[in-house]
Amino acid sequence: MINAIGRDIPEFVEGFGPVKKYLGAFNSLPEGNCYGPPIKRAAVGQSKLYHSLEDLFKSLKIESGMTFSFHHHLRNGDELVNQVLYTASRLGLKNITVSLTAAFATHAPMIEYIKNGLVTSLRTSGVYGGLALALSRGILPTPVLLHSHGGRPRSLRSGELKVDVAFIAAPSADDRGNITGVIGKSACGSLGYAFPDADYATHVVAVTDNLVPYPLIPASIGQNKVDHVVLIDSLGDPQGIVSGTTRITKDPVGLHIADTAAKVIEASGLLKNGFSFQTGAGGASLAAAHFVGQMMRAQNIKGGFALGGITGYMVDLLEEGLFGNLFDVQSFDLESVKSIARNPNHLEVSSDLYANPFNSGCLVNDLDVVILGATEIDVDFNVNVITGSDGVLMGAAGGHPDTAAGAKMTVIVTTLLRSRLPIVVDKVITATTPGETVDVLVTEYGLAVNPARADLRDRFVAAGLPVKDIQELKNLAHKMAGVPQTIAFDGPIIGLVEYRDGTIIDVVRAPNL
């Protein structure tokens, strides 16, 4: 069947079930009631503490066929997923569904656990490294479900994703299950992606390598939601968890794009008191934030909130008073981790509050501007951030579709070519974010505006910005690089791209590797 952006998707996928067709960014509505986990009880004097994962597995009777969940705040430093799967494998478990909010190079051991039948299903916002390549080759018996950061809490609320055991990496915990990510040798800052798991999982397990005296205050997730605490030697490698300092790009092309993006924001009319903003941690996105900060300073504008993955750069803007609040679902660097502890207006928020389209109001709905990247963008403004130009899994949807849907203006920043490959194409290989939610494309050769936003186009032209037609940008890329040979994607389906509302916006087919 053909969905609302013209993608051919199957009506039924083996190992997944019937497919809900994407109908447009705002056209599918929620139905039914929220899923609820069992009602729980902790008896007076009952210990929650375990000293090994194996003890926990035996005590909880964790068995084959269950669903385990994990969050990715430890990023490429995470060792918890590997330790849990190792334990499950040693105990002979099979047929486990893994819900991991994003998978990194450090998670490559999962390849072996897929091969030995332990892991048979995976839900994630995206995959990097060796696991991505293996999944692209089709090693998983069922297609990997690729969701957005807002789509995941939606599926927990609806019960489409039922978690038997949530393993929450807790950089610090007490023995009653109060946990935080702000302190400890494995400190990662916000635990926002794990909050919904603590609300919906049958067993909520905090795994820590830093047990502190009771009570841990302030806790990110409280003892009323955590069923078990496991103390292990190490959650992972601090070097891979947070980067020291995130810096803005020095690349002149990146700076030029960032400068244009900032001028676009100024010309949009959205840059005024109360301005709300999200940008990624990529060099060009951060540079755009730098230029926006300069404009706010010069024009004495006081912003409302900044949202998202938070960097030290945004902390600087907060502490300077240029923004009133930071909402932090993921802390990218050491400065942002420290800031949560020091700044009461730097708030750790759940992915549900951040971006779930089916709750009573998520933060992305009040974004004025979001700046996002792309691995490809097509002439209908559909964006791919999941696969490379060769169709291999290489990135994450993250909050891309969510913020694009919520923000008053969504700006995509990218170079026109990347290693010869045109980034502006006729049709993206994998649609992640639908064009109807994308407003402006900024490249080093000019910008293009979604035809649905003639209002913005008029403002940019009036401001003297280099506005072009998106076809013109595509043709310019072809003129410089030549027209690429088309690659056929007719292999089996290895991935399903779930839009934030739970419909399927696209499929990923195995590339010819």
Partner 1 sequence: MKSVVKPAQAGTLESNDIMIIVEPGANGIVLELESIVKKQYGQAISQTIIETVKSYGLTDLNVKAIDKGALDYAIRARLVTALSRAGLGPGSEG
Q: Which residues contact partner 1 by CB under 8 A?
A: 389-390, 417-421, 480-482, 484-485, 487
CB of 417 to partner 1, least distance (A): 8
CB of 476 to partner 1, least distance (A): 13
Toward partner 1, which CB reaches closer, 404 or 425?
A: 425
Toward partner 1, which CB reaches closer, 452 or 513?
A: 513
How far apart CA 320 and CA 315 sit, in angstroms, is 8
Toward partner 1, which CB reaches closer, 276 or 389?
A: 389
Classify burial at 51, counting beta carbons within 10 Å of its beta carbon; exposed 0-12, middle 13-18, buried 19 or more.
Answer: exposed
CB 452 within 8 A of CB 446: no
Toward partner 1, which CB reaches closer, 256 or 418?
A: 418
CB of 468 to partner 1, least distance (A): 20
Spell out the residues 6+ positions from residue 331 whose beta carbon is closer than 8 angstroms to its own: 73, 181, 188, 189, 190, 242, 309, 310, 337, 340
CB of 478 to partner 1, least distance (A): 11
CB of 481 to partner 1, least distance (A): 6
Altogether, the residues listed in the chain come to a count of: 513
B/e letters for 243-257, b = 16+ CB within 10 Å, e = fewer, are beebebbeeeebbbb
CB of 108 to partner 1, least distance (A): 21
CB of 421 to partner 1, least distance (A): 6
Toward partner 1, which CB reaches closer, 60 or 421?
A: 421
Toward partner 1, which CB reaches closer, 34 or 480?
A: 480
How far apart CA 394 and CA 232 sit, in angstroms, is 31
The H-assigned helical ranges of 61-174 are 80-90, 110-115, 130-136, 151-158
CB of 390 to partner 1, least distance (A): 6
CB 345 within 8 A of CB 320: no
Toward partner 1, which CB reaches closer, 212 or 481?
A: 481
Distance of CA 286 to the CA centre of its chain: 17
- In 3D, which of 246, 263, 244 has the Cα closest to residue 255? 263
What Rg, from alpha-carbon coordinates, does the chain have? 22
The residue type of 263 is K
Largest CA distance in the chain: 73
Classify burial at 80, counting beta carbons within 10 Å of its beta carbon; exposed 0-12, middle 13-18, buried 19 or more.
Answer: buried
Toward partner 1, which CB reaches closer, 51 or 479?
A: 479
Return the H-helix or E-strand segment holding 337: helix 334-342
Toward partner 1, which CB reaches closer, 46 or 419?
A: 419
CB 430 within 8 A of CB 9: no
Classify burial at 379, counting beta carbons within 10 Å of its beta carbon; exposed 0-12, middle 13-18, buried 19 or more.
Answer: middle
Toward partner 1, which CB reaches closer, 370 or 394?
A: 394
How far apart CA 511 and CA 513 sit, in angstroms, is 6
Pairing between β-strand 203-208 and β-strand 179-180 as defined by DSSP bridges: unpaired
CB of 418 to partner 1, least distance (A): 8
Toward partner 1, which CB reaches closer, 253 or 463?
A: 253
CB of 415 to partner 1, least distance (A): 10
Toward partner 1, which CB reaches closer, 85 or 476?
A: 476
Query: CA 20, 22, 28, 33 torsion: positive or negative?
Result: positive
Q: 300 to each of 66, 263, 294, 320, how far by Cα in Å?
A: 55, 16, 10, 12
CB of 474 to partner 1, least distance (A): 15
How far apart CA 440 and CA 261 sit, in angstroms, is 9
CB of 107 to partner 1, least distance (A): 24
